[in-house]
Amino acid sequence: MTNNIPQREHGRLRTEGAADYIGVATSTLEKDRVTGFLGVPFIKIGRTVVYDTADLDEYLASRRRHSTSEAA
């Protein structure tokens, strides 16, 4: 059976690329890894931190609002 749902390409980005991808400063993601305030998921491989683009897309989708009066 053929799956007609298009598959998204997954990629891994380092902090700078991930920050550009979601439109925040690099320091914001660095702080978020310590505080967890924004809750942006990341992957730690040894000392290297990477962000999966699928996780970043989900994070952005969870922030979608239709008006400024909507609760976060």
The whole-number pLDDT of residue 5 equals: 45
- Burial tier of 35 (Cβ tally within 10 Å: 0-12, 13-18, 19+): exposed
pLDDT in tens, 22-61: 999 999 999 999 999 999 999 999 999 999 999 999 999 9
Q: How confident is the model at residue 69 (pLDDT cuts 50, 70, 90)?
A: confident
Q: Cβ of 12: how many Cβ atoms within 10 Å?
A: 15
Domain positions in the chain are 12-62
The whole-number pLDDT of residue 70 equals: 72
